[in-house]
Amino acid sequence: MSDAAAGTPASPPPSPWERRRPARAQAAPARAPLSRDRIVEAAFTVLDREGLDGLSMRRVAAELGVTVSALYAHVSSKDDLLELMYARLFDGVEMPEADPERWQEQVRDYARAGRQRLLSHRDMARISMAHVPFTAELLPHVETLLAIFRTAGLPDRIAAEAGDLLSTYIDGFVLEEGMWQDRAGREGGDGASLARPDWREMADRMRDYFASLPAADFPHLRALAGLMVSDSSDERFDIGLEIILRGLASYLPQPEPPRDGAR
- What is the DSSP annotation of 155-181? -HHHHHHHHHHHHHHHHHHHHHHHHHH
User: Are 77 and 124 in a shared domain?
Assistant: no
What is the span of the domain harbouring residue 230? 97-249
Chosen domain end from 46, 71, 88: 88
Examine the domain organization and report whether 138 and 203 are in the same domain.
yes
Query: CB of 125 within 8 A of CB of 181?
Result: no
CATH of residue 183's domain is 1.10.357.10
48 and 150 share one domain: no
Contact 61, 67 (CB under 8 A): yes
Does residue 9 lie in a domain region?
Answer: no
152, 239: one domain: yes
State the pLDDT at residue 186. Answer: 59
Per-residue pLDDT of the chain (263 residues; tens, 9 = 90+): 555 555 555 666 665 555 554 555 555 455 678 999 999 999 999 999 999 999 999 999 999 999 999 999 999 999 999 999 999 999 999 999 999 999 999 999 999 999 999 999 999 999 999 876 678 888 999 999 999 999 999 999 999 999 999 999 999 999 988 887 666 565 555 444 444 455 667 778 888 898 899 999 999 989 988 887 776 889 889 999 999 999 999 999 887 776 765 55
Q: Contact, 225 vs 207, CB < 8 A?
A: yes
Q: Please say whether the beta carbons of 181 and 194 come within 8 A.
A: yes
Q: How many residues does the chain have?
A: 263
Tell me whether residue 234 is in a domain.
yes
